[in-house]
């Protein structure tokens, strides 16, 4: 599919990227839990999320038709944007299986439909673990894949665990009438991630190529307890306490990564 496809009419393929990030921390006291959730609500409020999605829309070369956003009580936020494609072709190379831009280098273009984000801060009732989740969906119709926005999105959040689903649906037609169920080469979502991201995360693929379904799970390789303590000075903790907290944090991360509870 490296040669330019000649289609009959408009490209009707729908390409959907679902992206989930998880940020884990340890907040010991009830006060610390509430402060963590308040911090997350401020850091990722509807206004900040709107800016992130606006940048995504710029990356995908689209035009915002409508924005709906809401901060929730007691916590969480949502933003939905309806978008339409620009009437210009994407630049050369934008359909290649390669990483998209970082936050300070927005240059790529995609096509249209909608982008959404929802946030879910929560805390374990009794063991001090707090987990923040953000769900982001980018759906486009047309020439190329929303995977070009993935690199930017990962760098816009503090992500301990990331799960990514990509699916191409529907069909378009070659000019000779033959149905095309995908219009670009893809072997792995990992090929759309920058080198520093690939080095930072352990990754697993679960792909169903014949159905144009692609799934990648990511979990940080390195673990530094200092990065996970909220309102807690590690120098005030004993070695035994540090070990216990680390074990609980890593268990939480592995349960999310493997999508199952562990004894």
- Catalytically active residues, by annotation: 113, 118, 141
DSSP string, 33-97: HHHHHHHHHHHT-HHHHHHHHHHHHHHTTEEEEEEEEEE-SSS-EEEEEEEEE-SSPPPTTTTSS
CB 216 within 8 Å of CB 19: no
**Helix H or strand E segment including 195:** helix 195-200
Q: What are 138's strand-pairing partners? A: 17, 115
Q: What are 16's strand-pairing partners? A: 139, 167
How far apart CA 258 and CA 250 sit, in angstroms, is: 12
């Amino acid at each position: 599919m490296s040669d330019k496809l000649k289609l009959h009419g408009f490209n009707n393929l729908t390409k959907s990227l679902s992206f989930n990030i998880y940020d884990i921390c340890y907040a010991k006291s009830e006060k610390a839990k509430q402060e963590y959730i308040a911090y997350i609500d401020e850091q990722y409020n509807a206004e900040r999320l709107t800016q992130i999605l606006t940048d995504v829309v710029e990356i995908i070369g689209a035009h915002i038709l409508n924005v709906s956003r809401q901060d929730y009580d007691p916590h969480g936020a949502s933003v939905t944007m309806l978008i339409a494609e620009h009437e210009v072709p994407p630049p050369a190379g934008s359909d290649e299986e390669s990483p998209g831009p970082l936050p300070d280098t927005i240059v790529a273009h995609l096509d249209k439909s909608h982008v959404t984000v929802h946030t879910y801060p929560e805390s374990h009732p009794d063991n001090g673990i707090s987990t923040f989740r953000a769900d982001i969906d980018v759906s486009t119709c047309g020439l190329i894949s929303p995977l070009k926005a993935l690199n930017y999105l990962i760098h816009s959040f503090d992500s301990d665990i990331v799960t990514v689903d990509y699916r191409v649906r529907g069909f378009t037609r070659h000019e000779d009438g033959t149905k095309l169920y995908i219009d670009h080469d893809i072997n792995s979502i990992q090929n759309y991630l920058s080198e520093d991201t690939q080095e930072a995360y352990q990754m697993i693929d679960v792909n169903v190529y014949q159905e144009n379904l692609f799934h990648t799970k990511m979990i940080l390789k390195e673990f530094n307890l200092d990065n996970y303590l909220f309102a807690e000075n590690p120098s005030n903790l004993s070695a035994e306490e540090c070990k216990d907290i680390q074990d609980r944090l890593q268990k939480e991360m592995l349960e999310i990564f493997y999508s199952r509870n562990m004894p």
